[in-house]
Amino acid sequence: MTDDDFEALWTNLVERSHKPMLTALTTDERVFYAVNLLRGSVPRSGFIGYFENWTGADISAAHRGLRVLGLETASRLLTDAQTLVLGDQPLPDEAVSLTVFPDSLTEDEHEEASNRLDEALTAIEKQFYPLDDEIYEALYSFADAHSLKPIKPS
């Protein structure tokens, strides 16, 4: 697999994940998709953005994918971030976006809560960012080992 192959596969999985009635992702494709989604989302918008922008099903799949790929440190960091973000709330394993901050908060309360949570997550994010190459390499190897290729929707 080349970097171009990786990008083509990723683009294909993103397109197909947003139109699941065309061609559903296989179990192996879901591992790749969920872990690469995490890998790309956290550096862009932090763990708060990751939890706000993706569903419980996506996050659960990322947990499973990290374990499948043997990425123990990244798995632990995702769990630590989830604990800070959700507290004792269970992660819904469905395709529903999460609510990190209650809608009832005023703008000032929301900003204050966001700043507190962002500060609490900073140490976890600083440990997560250097794992990018390790996650990429694991995805690359996984795609090769499982012969993942872009497919045309049926």
Model pLDDT for residues 111-147, shown as the tens digit of each residue: 999 999 999 999 999 999 999 999 999 999 999 999 9
CA distance 69 to 91: 21
Sequence ranges of the domains in the chain: 3-145
What pLDDT is recorded for position 44? 94
Torsion of CA 53, 138, 91, 73, to 10 degrees: -110
What pLDDT is recorded for position 153? 60
86-111: buried (b, 16+ CB within 10 Å) or exposed (e) per residue? Answer: beeeebeeeeeebebeeeeeeeeeee
What pLDDT is recorded for position 116? 96
What pLDDT is recorded for position 16? 85
CA distance 10 to 36: 8
Model pLDDT for residues 7-31, shown as the tens digit of each residue: 999 998 988 887 766 678 899 999 9
CA distance 46 to 56: 17
**pTM (global) more than 0.85:** yes
For residue 47, pLDDT over 70 is answered with: yes
- Beta-bridge partner residues of 55: 97
Long-range contacts (CB closer than 8 Å, 24 or more residues apart) made by 7-10: 8/150, 9/143, 9/148, 9/149, 9/150, 10/36
What pLDDT is recorded for position 21? 61
CA distance 10 to 16: 10
What pLDDT is recorded for position 126? 97
Model pLDDT for residues 79-120, shown as the tens digit of each residue: 999 999 998 888 887 777 888 898 999 999 999 999 999 999
